């Protein structure tokens, strides 16, 4: 019987899978009937929209590259002139998509260090959840680990205590090669700042559609 992750809500998960492929949370004995929260559904919708936009941009410039290549076969190093132009155009288009998303977050962004955020949830989880619901959080914290699968990349943050019961799960959205490279270069113990949509708490706090702050 298919199961759902009790941490991030991902489903369906096969009956013989012990850990969630998204956040690595244990799903032994997990129920197949758990419902996803509105925040998780909204985050999933964002991811789908962004993937569609990204694929559309890639398809558009892929077609432009093919057509342009028929007329212009100039060479720059090991790449054609059209190759260089298309890479630049695609990155510019993705930069615009990213800028649009960031612009929509400005009015609801709250800067909060991981220390304060985690302490608020330890003191009064209900009040903290109400305080940050619908907000975009800009969080400074310490990297515990970076993980990935075929769906997305995630970063686990803490406030200096690796044994803390509550940590911050940051699900990353990256669209531009330089963003992907920066995330892959993150190391354990490194202090970083991420910005993303508050997605509630399951076993840990969840932040969705995260980007690294410059």
Q: Specify whether domain 108-212 bears CATH 3.65.10.10.
A: no
Q: Which residue has the higher pLDDT, 171 or 104?
A: 171
Q: What is the pLDDT of residues 70-92, one digit of tens each?
A: 433 344 344 454 555 666 677 77
Provide the pLDDT for residue 156: 93
Supply the mean pLDDT for the chain. Answer: 74
Q: Which residue has the higher pLDDT, 32 or 170?
A: 170
Q: Pairing between strand 191-201 and 205-212?
A: antiparallel
3-class SS of residue 203 = coil
Q: Which residue has the higher pLDDT, 11 or 206?
A: 206
Instruction: Write the DSSP assignment of 31-97 as a string of letters.
Output: -TTPPPPHHHHHHHHHHHHHHHHHHHHHHHHHHHHHHHHHH---EETTEEHHHHHHHHHHHHHHHHH
Provide the pLDDT for residue 213: 85
Q: Where are the domains of the chain?
A: 1-33, 38-106, 108-212
Provide the pLDDT for residue 17: 67
pLDDT tier at 212 (50, 70, 90 boundaries)? Answer: confident
pLDDT tier at 168 (50, 70, 90 boundaries)? Answer: very high
Provide the pLDDT for residue 47: 59
Distance, CA of 152 to CA of 36 (rounded, Å):
18
Distance, CA of 100 to CA of 106 (rounded, Å):
10
pTM greater than the 0.85 cutoff: no
Q: Which residue has the higher pLDDT, 60 or 93?
A: 93
């Amino acid at each position: 019987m298919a199961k759902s992750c009790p941490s991030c809500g991902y489903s369906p998960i096969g009956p013989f899978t012990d850990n969630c492929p998204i956040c690595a949370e244990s799903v032994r004995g997990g129920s197949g009937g758990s419902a996803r929260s509105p925040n998780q559904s909204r985050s999933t919708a964002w991811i789908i929209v962004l993937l569609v936009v990204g694929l559309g941009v890639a398809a558009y410039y892929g077609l432009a590259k093919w057509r342009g290549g028929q007329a212009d076969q100039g060479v720059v190093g090991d790449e054609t002139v059209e190759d260089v132009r298309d890479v630049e155009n695609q990155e510019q288009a993705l930069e615009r998509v990213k800028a649009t998303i960031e612009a929509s977050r400005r009015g609801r962004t709250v800067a909060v260090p991981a220390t304060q955020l985690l302490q608020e949830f330890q003191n009064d989880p209900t009040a903290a959840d109400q305080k940050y619901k619908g907000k975009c959080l800009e969080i400074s914290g310490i990297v515990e680990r970076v993980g990935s699968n075929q769906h997305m990349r995630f970063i686990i943050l803490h406030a200096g205590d690796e044994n803390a019961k509550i940590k911050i799960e940051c699900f990353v959205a990256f669209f531009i090669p330089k963003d992907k490279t920066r995330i892959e270069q993150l190391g354990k113990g490194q202090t970083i700042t991420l910005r993303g949509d508050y997605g509630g708490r399951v076993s840990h706090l969840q932040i969705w559609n995260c980007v690294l702050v410059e």
